[in-house]
Structure 1
Amino acid sequence: MAQIRIRNTNERITGDENVRQFLNSQEVIYEHWDISKLSPELQNKFDLTDDQKNAILNTFDTEIKDLVARRGYRTWDVITLTEATPNIEELLKKFESIHTHSEDEIRAIISGNGIFIIKGAGDVGYFDVELEPGDLISVPENTPHFFTLMENRKVVAVRLFVETDGWVAHPYEDPTFQKA
């Protein structure tokens, strides 16, 4: 279950309904997938073959098709990031720059953990959404944010796209942003 940390106040928001309400107030979609549907040999596995990635997509085909029908996605994939990922430090530097997209950015965490840092509306400022297996989040288009790994530095996630070329990041300069 996701947890939120408001960076300005260090307030923590926990509990499924509290997290959902807060994210809804920020126009961020939050849902939860049943990870127990995934075969045990794919749970907590981070070195995936193409066949295993396809097995993950097939397992969550109903959830993906539901999102496609509601949100107009046209393509999807599975991404895995670990210490063994080639050029992981360069990738993280790229990810850890505040940016926006012309479409929403959506991830469903299958294994491991990830964190979205999102610029909230009004006085909220930036907040962290700490995600674990089963959490699905969709950051609205044109919302300043970035995604990175948590302490365990491992994640497997399903990503969905409207644009067939994937997301294009548009840098967002914000002198008020402070790293955690």
Structure 2
Amino acid sequence: MAVIKIRNTNEVIQGTEEVKAFLESQEVLYEKWDMSKLPDHLKERFDLSDEDKQEILNSFDDDIRSLGERRGYVNWDVISLSESTPNLEELLKKFENVHTHTDDEVRAITAGHGIFIVKGENGYFDIELEAGDVISVPEYTPHFFTLMDDRQVVAVRLFIDTEGWVAHPYEEKEYKL
């Protein structure tokens, strides 16, 4: 179950309905997928072959297509990050810069954990995700992604167009009153 930590107040939001309501107020989609659909041999596996990734996509085909139809996503794949990922540190440094996209950033976590840090209407908040959690960060919303302490995640990514995934650096604008 996702947990939200609001950075400027240290408030913690837990519970499926509470998390969903908060994220909805920030225009971030949140839903849960049934992880019992994932075959046992793929649970908590992070070094995946192309065949393993296709099996994950097949396992969640109905969920993927439903979300795609509702939100206009027409492409999807699986990403896996762990200590065995070549250049993991370099990838994480790239991910950890606040940026925006011209397309939604969608992740359905199927194993491990990850954190999206998102700029909302009242500052930044962390969304700690685990298997079964699905979020869609809207286009042009400042955010970044990183791993949690276990440093491993498998996620289905959905998108409209791969061009929309190009990261555009985001710079904070300071306003003086």
CA distance in 1, matches of 2:67, 2:17: 21
Separation in 1, partners of 2:68, 2:7: 33
Matched, 1:53 2:66: no
Residue 68 of structure 2 is aligned to residue 96 of structure 1? no
The letter for the 1-side match of 2:153 is V
Structure 1 length as normaliser, TM-score? 0.94
Map of 1:156 onto structure 2: 154
* TM-score when normalising by structure 2: 0.96
Quote how far apart the aligned CAs of 1:72 are. 1.2
Cα deviation for residue 173 of structure 1 reads 1.1
State whether structure 2 residue 5 is matched by structure 1 residue 5.
yes
Name the counterpart of 1:112: 112
Alignment partners' CA distance in 2, 1:144 and 1:24: 16
- Paired residues, what number? 174
Find out whether 1:173 has 2:151 as its counterpart.
Answer: no
Q: How far apart are the structure 1 equivalents of 2:136 and 2:162?
A: 17
CA contact (8 A) 2:102 2:164 kept: no
Contact 1:74/1:164 (8 A) holds in 2: no
For residues 26-105 of structure 1, what are the structure 2 equivalents within 5 Å?
26-105=26-105
Task: Please state whether the residue corresponding to 1:113 is helix, strand or coil.
Answer: strand
What percent identity do the matched residue pairs reach?
Answer: 66
SS of alignment partner, residue 110 of structure 1 = strand
Counterpart Cα distance in 1 of 2:149 and 2:172? 25
Distance in 2 (alpha carbons) for counterparts of 1:54 and 1:142: 30
The amino acid of 2:37's aligned partner reads: K
Give the Cα separation in 2 of the matches to 1:42 and 1:57: 12
Deviation at 1:160, TM superposition (A): 0.6
Alignment-mate amino acid for residue 138 of structure 1: S
Deviation at 1:166, TM superposition (A): 5.7
SS in 2 for 1:48: coil
The aligned counterpart of 1:127 is 125
Q: Distance in 1 between matches of 2:72 and 2:92?
A: 28
**Structure 1 unaligned blocks of 5 or more:** none
Q: What are the Cα deviations for residues 32-80 of structure 1, in whole angstroms up to 9, with x where unaligned?
A: 0001111100000001100010000000000011011111112110000
After superposition, what is the alpha-carbon deviation per residue over 1:145-180, rounded to whole angstroms, capped at 9, x for unaligned? 00110110000000011014460100001277xxxx
Structure 2 partner of 1:145: 143
Amino acid at match of 2:140: N
Q: CA RMSD in A?
A: 1.1
Note the residue ranges of structure 2 that are not aligned, 5 or more in a row. none
Report the AA paired with residue 170 of structure 1: H
More displaced stretch, 46-55 vs 162-171? 162-171
| CA offsets 1:87-121 (integer angstroms, 9 cap, x no match) | 00000000000000001100000000000000011
What letter matches 1:74 in structure 2?
V
